């Protein structure tokens, strides 16, 4: 799998956009294997910056987590590397480069793709679709807006795009499905900084997995679903039982931007009377002993509010417990494998924060410490001025990162790490 510059027609008219792609496609190749099957890749670096491969959300051995400078040395331009591991979990994941100082630019330029690990017995559906949503910051010439690492992008809301795509194509995209059919829709928000809220129209929807991990199926509240940068959601869409009916998925931006249109046509689906789908679990613990958990606070600070003077060092705009990632020489904590941990994210900034927990899946705790939400996540929202707590069980010896999923802030210091011994 070679990383290289390639032209891609993001807009239906005008010049093609010069992207950094894997195998000259945007998104990169859809990697699809069965749970328990080995994944083997030869990674070749054909761009001008060092790269890695981070498997966002996948529980992998630490040496394959792909954080440049923490778990491995980045792959230099012109070099290659072999990567081999066997995913433990079925689900929807994605891969991208994870060198903290350049992750924002490399992701914005398109250097990412989707990994699907199928269940040993996948559920019966009429279609299984991977859909990548991304917003691109384009200039009038259709090229990626230059100027990465500016105070404006790093210190504020992040690099927001002006062109929203579906699998790097102009929206909306249209699919035909048999009446009464059901679709497994695997959604990924690959934006650098933009949370994307979706509204479902004339579609019966159930969420069956979040961030790759199976969930007790539930309908989206008020027919809407919000995805942070890096979030994934697996949905089951049930279509109308009569032909000629269209359902829509709309981005809640302005008056609404249609992203996908699903039309029923042809003979009825064989799945029209099929039962509900509940995915098998991925061997995550049924319970976490909160009483004996190691507890740590992560105080999130920094940013540049309107009217403030520009800092001289962009890499230290954001801090966790007073330390920017550039200066994080010691782990946040160190503990053994199989230990319960509770982390409190204390957001003292003026901005929504989104934090990605590497190599682990976590429960979102209730405010009174009396339980958790019935799903797992690896990318967590922390609203401005709020405290959010998560719990997980440590696994896999090594250095594990907690990084900003708003990638411009990652290069600005919003990250830390912990050690499992």
The tens digit of pLDDT for each residue in 347-394 reads 999 999 999 999 999 999 998 777 899 999 999 999 999 999 999 999
What pairing do the DSSP bridges indicate for beta strands 163-166 and 127-136?
Answer: antiparallel
Dihedral sign of CA atoms 187, 393, 385, 374 in order: positive
Q: Give the tokens for residue 133.
A: 């949503």
Q: How big is the chain, counted in residues?
A: 421
Residue that wins the pLDDT comparison between 273 and 129: 129
In the chain, the largest separation of any two C-alpha atoms, in whole Å, equals 65
Whole-number Cα distances in Å, 389 to 127, 298, 356, 360: 36, 10, 13, 15
Say what the pLDDT of residue 167 is.
98
Whether 98 and 66 have beta carbons less than 8 Å apart is answered as yes
Strands in 334-335's sheet, in edge-to-edge order, are 334-335, 415-420, 398-404, 353-357, 379-382
Candidates 264, 270, 274; CA nearest to 241 is: 264
Say what the pLDDT of residue 229 is.
98
Say what the pLDDT of residue 371 is.
86
Q: Render pLDDT for 170-212 as a digit per residue (tens, 0 to 9).
A: 999 999 999 999 999 999 999 999 999 999 999 999 999 999 9
Say what the pLDDT of residue 312 is.
80
Mean pLDDT of 281-307: 93
Mean pLDDT of 72-77: 98
Q: Give the tokens for residue 314.
A: 């962009």
Judging by beta carbons within 10 Å of its beta carbon (0-12, 13-18, 19+), is residue 48 exposed, middle or buried? exposed
In CATH, the architecture of 2-118 is Sandwich (2.60)
CATH topology for the 290-420 domain: Immunoglobulin-like (2.60.40)
Name 262's bridge partners. Answer: 175, 247
Q: Give the tokens for residue 265.
A: 């046509």
- Other residues' Cβ atoms within 10 Å of the Cβ of residue 201: 13
Q: Specify the DSSP element, H or E, that contains 262.
A: strand 257-264
Domain with CATH 2.60.40.420 in the chain: 2-118, 127-264, 290-420
pLDDT above 80 for 314: yes
Which are the contacts of 183, defined by CB distance < 8 A and separation ≥ 6? 125, 126, 127, 128, 129, 175, 177, 235, 236, 237, 239, 262
Backbone angles phi, psi at 325, to 5 degrees: -60, -35
Q: Does domain 127-264 have CATH number 1.10.10.60?
A: no
For the chain, first and last CA: distance in Å? 32
Judging by beta carbons within 10 Å of its beta carbon (0-12, 13-18, 19+), is residue 56 exposed, middle or buried? buried
Which are the contacts of 48, defined by CB distance < 8 A and separation ≥ 6? 77
Cα distance between residue 106 and residue 97, in whole Å: 7
Cis omega (within 30 of 0) on the bond before 350? Answer: no
What pairing do the DSSP bridges indicate for beta strands 39-45 and 2-8?
Answer: parallel
Say what the pLDDT of residue 281 is.
93
Candidates 9, 11, 16, 53; CA nearest to 31 is: 53
Which are the contacts of 356, defined by CB distance < 8 A and separation ≥ 6? 56, 230, 378, 379, 380, 401, 402, 403, 404, 405
Cα distance between residue 226 and residue 242, in whole Å: 29
**DSSP state, residue 122:** P
Mean pLDDT of 284-306: 94
Q: Give the tokens for residue 251.
A: 């981005």
Cα distance between residue 167 and residue 121, in whole Å: 27
Q: Tell me the helix, strand and coil percentages in the chain, rounded to 5.
A: 5, 45, 50
Backbone angles phi, psi at 208, to 5 degrees: -110, -10
Say what the pLDDT of residue 307 is.
66
Q: Render pLDDT for 337-349 as a digit per residue (tens, 0 to 9).
A: 999 999 999 999 9
The 3-state DSSP class for residue 105 equals helix
Whole-number Cα distances in Å, 111 to 26, 27, 108, 192: 8, 8, 7, 12
Whether 212 and 188 have beta carbons less than 8 Å apart is answered as no
Tell me how far the alpha carbon of residue 412 is from its chain's centroid. Answer: 19
Cα distance between residue 200 and residue 260, in whole Å: 10
């Amino acid at each position: 799998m070679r990383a290289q510059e390639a032209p891609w027609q993001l807009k239906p008219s005008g010049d093609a956009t010069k992207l950094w792609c894997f195998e000259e496609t945007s998104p990169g190749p859809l990697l699809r294997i069965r749970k328990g099957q080995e994944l083997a890749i030869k990674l070749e670096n054909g761009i001008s910056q060092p790269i890695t491969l981070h498997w966002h959300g996948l529980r992998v051995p630490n040496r394959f987590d792909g954080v440049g400078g923490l778990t491995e040395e980045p792959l230099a331009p012109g070099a290659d590397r072999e990567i081999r591991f066997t995913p433990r979990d079925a689900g929807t994941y994605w891969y991208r480069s994870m060198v903290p100082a350049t992750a924002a630019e490399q992701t914005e330029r398109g250097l990412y793709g989707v990994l699907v690990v199928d269940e040993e017995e996948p559920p019966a559906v009429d279609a299984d679709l991977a859909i990548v949503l991304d917003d691109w910051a384009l200039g009038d010439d259709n090229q990626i807006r230059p100027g990465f690492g500016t105070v404006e992008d790093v210190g504020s809301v992040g690099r927001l795009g002006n062109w929203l795509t579906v699998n790097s194509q102009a929206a909306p995209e249209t699919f035909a499905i048999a009446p009464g059919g059901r679709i497994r829709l695997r959604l990924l928000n690959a934006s650098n900084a933009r949370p994307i809220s979706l509204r479902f129209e004339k579609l019966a929807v159930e969420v069956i997995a979040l961030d790759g991990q199976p969930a007790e199926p539930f309908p989206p509240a008020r027919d809407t679903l919000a995805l942070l940068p890096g979030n994934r959601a697996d949905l089951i869409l049930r279509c109308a039982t009569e032909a000629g009916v269209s359902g829509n998925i709309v981005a809640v931006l302005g008056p609404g931007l249609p992203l996908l249109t699903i039309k029923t046509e042809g003979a009825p689906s064989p799945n029209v009377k099929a039962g509900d789908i509940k995915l098998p679990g991925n061997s995550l613990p049924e319970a976490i002993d909160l009483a004996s958990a190691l507890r740590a606070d992560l105080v999130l600070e920094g940013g540049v509010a309107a009217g403030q003077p520009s800092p001289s060092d962009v890499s230290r705009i954001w801090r966790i417990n007073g330390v920017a990632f550039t200066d994080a020489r010691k782990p946040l904590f160190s503990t053994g494998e199989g230990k319960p941990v509770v982390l409190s994210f204390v957001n003292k900034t003026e901005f929504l924060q989104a934090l990605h927990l590497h190599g682990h899946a976590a429960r979102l705790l209730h405010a009174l410490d009396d339980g958790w939400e019935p799903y797992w996540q690896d990318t967590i929202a922390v609203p401005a001025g709020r405290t959010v707590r998560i719990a997980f069980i440590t696994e896999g010896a090594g250095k594990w990162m907690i990084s900003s999923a708003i990638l411009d802030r990652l290069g600005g210091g919003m990250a830390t790490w912990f050690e499992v011994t």
